[in-house]
C-alpha cells in the first residue's frame, strides 16, 4: 500500500496515532511500539519489515517476557521509562534467549492491578509506581515519608544502596517480587485543577480536597498540612479532578504529562516532597527459573537501561514541563520560607512518622542509615533539572 500520504487537515501527530492503531490491529502492540520508536509508522513497508523481525526474534527465543507498560505513543520524550530500550537491551544482552513482549495497560491494567498480575505470574514484569508495591510489601512505603529522599539523586542513591538491599529487598522477595531496576520519575508536586488557585504556602492547603493514592504515609502528609486526603485510583484521577471530586493532587510532572493532564490542571507547584519513583517489578519465581547465564544477561540489561534512563531524566522532565506550559499550565516554586514552613509542619522529622519508620525500617536507627544512604551520591549520578 506504500507510504501514507497526508491530507491538508492531517499533521504528523494525528497520522502517527492513526497508523499506530492500524499497526497495533494488524501486527500487535509490541510491533507498533517498536515501529513508533524507529520512526517508521508512516511506512507500511517498514512496519512489515519490523513485524517480520519481531516474529523471527520471538521464534528464536527460549523464553518470552511480557512487560506490562503504561506507555503511550511518543512517551519517551517526556518520561524516561525506557520501555523500548529495555526490551532491546534484554534481547541483546541475553543473546536472544529472552523475547520481550510489551503489554499495554488496556490489557493488563495500571498501578496495583498491574503489580498484582506480576505477583501472580500472569505476566513476568510490570512498569509501575513503587507505591503500587506497598499493598504487597508495606516497607516500600518508606519512600513516601516526605522530605528525605525526594529528588532524583536521593531516590536513586537510596534504592541502589546496600542498606536498601538489606532492609527492603528481602521483604519484596517474600512477597514474590524482584525489582529489576528503579526508573526515576521526579518529585511529587502540588497540582491544582483548572479554575483553582496555586498552592504556594502551607495555608493554601487548608481544606483542599487532595487526591492521594492508597499510601497511609501520603494521607498522613496531607492531613498534617491541613488538607483533606481524598483516595482516588490513578486511572480515575483526571475525571475526579475535572468533576471537582478532588481539587489537587501530588503527581510528578512526567506522570502528569504522560497521562495527558494538560487540560485538567491550571497550576503545578514544585513541592519536592516525595519522589514519584517507579519500578520494573519482576515475578521472582519466573526470574529464579531462568538459567544463570540468562539471569546475568537480564541483570546486566537492567543496569545498563537504568543508567541510560538516569542520563535522560533531565531532558524528559524539561520536555514534559515545556509541553504542559504550552497548554496553559502555570508552574510555580515555593519561596524558601514557605518551603521551610511546609517541611516544619509535615516533614520526615515529625513524630507522627516514627511508628511507620519503626514498622517498615525495623527501627529508627535503620531509618537513619537509609537517610544517610539517600544523601550519599553514588556512581549512578543524576542531574536534577527542575
CB-CB contact of 78 with 257 (8 Å):
yes
Q: What are the pLDDT tens digits along the chain (386 aa)?
A: 445 444 444 444 554 566 666 766 776 777 766 766 655 566 777 777 778 888 999 999 999 999 998 766 556 788 888 888 999 999 999 999 999 998 877 688 888 889 999 999 999 999 988 988 988 999 999 999 999 999 989 999 999 999 999 999 999 999 999 999 999 889 999 999 999 999 999 999 999 999 998 778 889 999 999 999 999 988 899 999 999 999 999 999 999 998 899 999 999 999 999 998 899 999 999 999 999 999 999 999 999 999 999 999 889 999 999 999 999 999 999 999 999 999 999 999 999 999 999 999 999 999 999 999 999 987 766 656 55
Which CATH number applies to 12-185+276-313? 3.40.190.170
Residue 161 C-alpha cell reads as: 544502596
Neighbours of 369 (CB within 10 A): 17
Rounded (10°) CA dihedral 14, 19, 25, 28? -110
Domains 12-185+276-313 and 190-275+321-374 agree in fold: yes
For 26, residues 6+ apart whose C-beta sits below 8 A from its C-beta are: 47, 51
Q: Which helix (H) or strand (E) holds 206?
A: none
Is residue 120 helix, strand or coil? helix
Domains of the chain: which residue ranges? Answer: 12-185+276-313, 190-275+321-374
Fold of 190-275+321-374: D-Maltodextrin-Binding Protein; domain 2 (3.40.190)
DSSP string, 218-241: HHHHHHHTT-EEEE--GGGHHHHH
CA dist 199 and 194 (Å) reads 13
Entry pTM: 0.85
Rounded to 10°, the helix 12-27/44-60 angle is 40
Helix extents (H) in 175-271:
216-224, 237-242, 253-258
Residue 212: which of 63, 25, 346, 53 has the closest Cα?
Answer: 346
Q: What is the pLDDT of residues 250-284, one digit of tens each?
A: 999 999 998 899 999 999 999 999 998 899 999 99
Q: Output Rg (C-alpha) for the chain, integer angstroms.
A: 21
Q: Which helix (H) or strand (E) holds 282?
A: strand 278-283
Is residue 263 helix, strand or coil? coil
Map grid coordinates 510532572 to a residue.
253
Rounded (10°) CA dihedral 214, 217, 223, 225? -120
Amino acid at each position: 500500500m506504500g507510504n501514507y500520504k497526508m491530507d491538508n487537515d492531517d499533521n504528523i501527530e494525528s497520522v502517527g496515532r492513526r497508523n499506530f492503531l492500524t499497526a497495533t490491529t494488524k501486527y500487535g502492540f509490541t510491533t507498533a511500539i517498536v515501529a513508533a520508536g524507529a520512526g517508521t509508522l508512516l511506512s507500511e513497508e517498514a512496519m512489515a519489515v519490523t513485524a517480520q523481525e519481531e516474529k523471527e526474534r520471538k521464534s528464536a527465543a527460549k523464553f518470552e517476557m511480557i512487560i506490562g507498560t503504561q506507555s503511550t505513543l511518543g512517551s519517551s520524550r517526556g518520561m524516561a521509562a525506557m520501555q523500548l530500550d529495555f526490551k532491546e537491551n534484554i534481547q541483546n544482552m541475553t543473546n536472544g534467549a529472552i523475547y520481550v513482549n510489551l503489554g499495554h495497560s488496556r490489557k493488563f491494567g495500571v498501578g496495583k492491578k498491574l503489580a498484582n498480575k506480576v505477583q501472580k505470574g500472569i505476566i513476568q514484569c510490570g512498569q509501575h509506581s513503587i507505591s503500587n508495591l506497598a499493598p504487597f510489601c508495606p516497607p516500600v512505603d518508606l519512600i513516601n515519608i516526605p522530605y528525605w529522599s525526594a529528588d532524583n539523586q536521593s531516590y536513586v542513591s537510596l534504592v541502589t544502596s546496600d542498606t536498601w538491599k538489606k532492609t527492603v529487598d528481602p521483604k519484596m522477595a517474600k512477597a514474590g517480587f524482584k525489582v529489576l531496576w528503579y526508573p526515576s520519575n521526579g518529585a511529587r508536586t502540588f497540582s491544582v485543577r483548572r479554575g483553582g488557585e496555586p498552592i504556594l504556602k502551607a495555608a493554601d492547603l487548608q481544606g483542599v480536597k487532595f487526591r492521594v493514592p492508597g499510601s497511609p504515609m501520603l494521607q498522613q502528609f496531607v492531613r498534617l498540612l491541613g488538607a483533606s486526603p481524598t483516595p482516588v485510583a490513578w486511572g480515575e484521577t483526571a475525571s475526579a479532578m475535572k468533576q471537582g471530586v478532588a481539587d489537587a493532587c501530588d503527581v510528578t510532572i512526567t506522570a502528569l504529562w504522560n497521562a495527558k493532564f494538560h487540560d485538567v490542571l491550571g497550576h503545578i507547584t514544585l513541592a519536592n516532597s516525595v519522589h514519584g519513583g517507579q519500578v520494573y517489578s519482576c515475578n521472582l519465581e519466573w526470574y529464579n527459573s531462568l538459567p544463570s547465564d540468562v539471569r546475568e544477561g537480564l541483570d546486566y540489561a537492567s543496569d545498563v537501561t537504568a543508567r541510560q534512563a538516569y542520563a535522560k531524566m533531565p531532558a524528559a522532565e524539561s520536555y514534559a514541563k515545556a509541553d504542559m506550559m504550552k497548554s496553559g499550565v502555570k508552574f510555580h516554586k515555593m519561596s524558601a520560607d514557605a518551603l521551610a514552613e511546609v517541611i516544619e509542619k509535615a516533614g520526615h522529622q515529625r513524630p507522627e512518622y516514627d511508628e511507620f519508620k519503626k514498622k517498615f525500617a525495623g527501627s529508627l536507627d535503620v531509618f537513619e542509615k537509609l537517610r544517610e544512604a539517600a544523601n550519599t551520591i553514588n556512581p549512578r549520578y543524576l542531574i536534577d533539572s527542575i
